[in-house]
Chains A and B, each alone.
Chain A
Amino acid sequence: MTAVLQTATALQPVAGYRLSLRRFARNRLAVAGLVVVVLFLLFCFAGPLIHPTDQTHTDLNQVNLAPSGAHLLGTDAVGHDEFGRLMFGGKVSLLVGLAAGLLATVIGALWGAVAGYTGGWVDALMMRIVDAGIAIPALFILLVVSAITTPDTLGLILILGLVSWLVPSRLVRAETLTLKSRDYVLTLRAIGGTHGRAIGRHILPNSVSTIVVAATFQVADAILLVAYVSYLGLGVQPPATDWGGMLSSGLTAAYSGRWWLIVPPGLAIILVVCAFNAIGDGLRDAFDVRGRG
């Protein structure tokens, strides 16, 4: 019934965002993650300007060379410079991952917000659809789709996004349910405010932290998913490639000891996905959000 408010703790002299920023900055893993992401972005996008290599034409004179001064990471089976290929493939991995992750978050957020706010049988139906989507493993659907068509980059982003929007939708729905019954929303409705105003001015802005955290984790998942997809041969087609594709084509090489063909792309994937997960974790703690454990 009555709980005497602890005014000492309710008073936050520092504005919400600044406090969150401070908390984030104190999370060493998260800051490290941010640094890693920035470094990789620079590497993949600014790198080729400093260290240009030919990634489209093959050079059969330079096949399968071990790392040396001329080729920092050696060459692959058709003569491409591996170091440059890492940058080249990274562009695709990062771009597709970012785009697909953001797309998934946007779709999921809209779906979840509508379901949560409307409630009733609409909510139940929408959530059963989400349950069905979750029940079908993403990899399986991707393989089926690949058996039907081979998508271009845009198509790839679309498909990955369509397969991943389910988790953010549940998170945003939960957040919407909580916010819907907050006093300031109730007050607004009581004095005649419209649903639109409630959603647009109160629920969505207050869901931003949840959505941002979800987006970060989605990007991490998407980059990983792209790597799987390309490994299975369904991603971008040669001569274009991404880190997963590099792993796939370097597989046989691994058994014959040519580690430079699989260790760099593998490490790159691990580092970047790790970094995004660490950032998401840090953001979640900083914003004090509930969500993916």
Chain B
Amino acid sequence: METALYLTRRLLQALAVILIVTVVVFCLLHALPGGPARGILGPQATAQQIAAFNHEQGLDRPLPVQYLYYLHTLVQGDLGTSYTLNEAVSRLIEQRLPKTLVLTVLSALLGLLLAIPLGMWQGVRRNKPVDYAVTTLSFVAYSTPVYFLGLLLILVFTQVLRWFPSQAPQGDTLAQVFADPLALVLPVVTGAASMIAVFSRYMRAATLENLAEDYVRTARAGGSRPGAILWRHVFRNSLTPVIAMLGYYVPVLFGGALVVEQLFNYPGMGLLFWSAAQSSDYPVLLGCVLVISVATVIGTLLADIVQRIVDPRVKTERI
């Protein structure tokens, strides 16, 4: 029952956040120059045509009413129509989102698989040369703009070494994407680099904190060996804060995807967004923002739920 209560509360919080996001997007929608009308009808439109368009679209009613109307359309899954591609935004996103998800999930998995052991190793070997070396590398990786890193990787691995193709898989379906695994390597690695840097730091900090905890001393006093203590006790306790941070890292992953897709010409949501920005295709832009924000909120929620499963303390809320 505790879980049910907690879940409801978290869901309500998530909904509140999503609502606030819709408000932000709605405000942006209405900050567009000349309004949506000019965007659709073009710069040659006369004042009359614009007024007619506005009336037809209901854009001359008071803002709060428009907002409710907007919510209504959102709930029905209608995100508007692209100006340039002449397709429903929701359909476009439906096509592209899975591919972006493949990229981000693979990057995240690679990032975590490398970052967690690395961070723990650093924590155990604190202030030894290994720690300094990895810390410096992490700083560099974190401070390198993703596109620069991607550029370097492309230059080295595709031009000089010719191991991988310089473009990501171009297919439309997921099957086609996976059919060309070599082409996925560089994009995924580029996306994972910054994540490895950040999460190895988190893991290192969590490991250091846990190594200083009393229960490590108790285990040593009972005769447990350092290796056993590390894996049986410290590891699990250090994972919890790291998993919590994962939820907040989702927007960063999507931001990275934007740049990676543009660099490797990968037809996912990021590239869609990028082209839309070039052509001022507002419905697509705002639709993407909305979808990605909702994805983030869901991601954070999932991370919280995973945390509760792993850490039993979170189950019973104290006052």
Contact = CB atoms under 8 A, between A and B. Distances in A.
A binds B: yes
Interface of A: 28-29, 128-129, 131-132, 134-141, 143-144, 146-149, 220, 224, 227-228, 231-232, 244, 247, 251, 254-255, 262, 266, 269-274, 277-278, 281, 293
29 contacts: A29-B136, A128-B20, A131-B17, A131-B300, A132-B17, A132-B20, A132-B24, A134-B251, A135-B21, A136-B251, A137-B251, A137-B252, A137-B292, A138-B251, A143-B258, A144-B28, A146-B277, A147-B282, A228-B259, A262-B151, A266-B145, A269-B143, A269-B144, A270-B143, A273-B143, A274-B139, A277-B139, A293-B201, A293-B241
A228 B147 CA distance: 8
A137 B255 contact: yes
Contacts of A28: 132
Given A137-B292, A144-B289, A293 B202 contact: yes
B286 interface: yes
Contacts of B159: 255
Contact of B140 (A131, A132, A231, A274): A274
Contact of A148 (B31, B155, B206, B288): B31
A106 B179 CA distance: 50
B151 A147 contact: no
Q: Is the interface of B mostly helix, strand, loop or mixed?
A: helix
A270 B142 CA distance: 9
Interface of B: 13, 16-18, 20-21, 24, 28, 31-33, 132, 135-136, 139-140, 142-145, 147-148, 151-152, 155, 159, 198, 201-202, 205-206, 241, 245, 248, 251-252, 254-255, 258-259, 273-274, 277, 280, 282, 285-286, 288-289, 292-294, 296-297, 300
A140 B13 contact: no
Interface of A is mostly: helix
Given A270-B140, A277-B139, A136 B292 contact: yes
Contacts of A269: 143-145, 148
B145 A135 contact: no
A128 B13 contact: yes
B316 to A, nearest CB: 21
Contacts of A272: 143
Closest 9 CB pairs of A and B: A273-B143, A293-B202, A132-B20, A137-B255, A135-B296, A274-B143, A137-B251, A139-B255, A143-B277
B33 A148 contact: yes
A157 B52 CA distance: 39
Nearest to B282: A147
Given A132-B24, A140-B289, A147 B17 contact: no
Given A147-B277, A147-B282, A135 B202 contact: no
Contacts of A231: 145, 147
B285 A143 contact: yes
A24 to B, nearest CB: 15
A137 B24 contact: no
Nearest to A293: B202
A132 B143 contact: no
A254 B143 contact: no
B289 A136 contact: yes
Given A134-B251, A244-B145, 18 more contacts: A29-B132, A132-B17, A132-B21, A135-B17, A136-B21, A140-B255, A143-B273, A147-B285, A148-B32, A224-B143, A227-B145, A228-B147, A231-B145, A269-B144, A270-B143, A273-B142, A274-B140, A293-B245
Given A228-B259, A251-B151, A140 B288 contact: yes
B288 A247 contact: no
B258 to A, nearest CB: 5
Contacts of A277: 139, 142-143
A135 B297 contact: yes
Contacts of B152: 266
Contact of B286 (A144, A224, A255): A144
A132 B245 CA distance: 16
A29 B143 contact: no
B145 A228 contact: yes
A232 B261 CA distance: 13
A255 B155 CA distance: 8
B165 to A, nearest CB: 15
A233 B269 CA distance: 19
B97 to A, nearest CB: 14
Nearest to A143: B277
Contact of B148 (A131, A138, A247): A247
Contacts of B251: 134-138
Contacts of B17: 128, 131-132, 135
B242 to A, nearest CB: 8
Contact of B205 (A143, A147, A244, A293): A293
Contacts of B300: 131, 135
B134 to A, nearest CB: 12
Most A C-beta atoms less than 10 A away, residue of B32, B143, B201, B293: B143
A137 B21 contact: no
A146 B33 CA distance: 12
B133 to A, nearest CB: 11
A77 B134 CA distance: 38
Contacts of B201: 293
Nearest to B258: A139
A255 to B, nearest CB: 8
A143 B275 CA distance: 11
Contact of B258 (A129, A131, A137, A227): A137
Given A132-B24, A144-B286, A139 B259 contact: yes
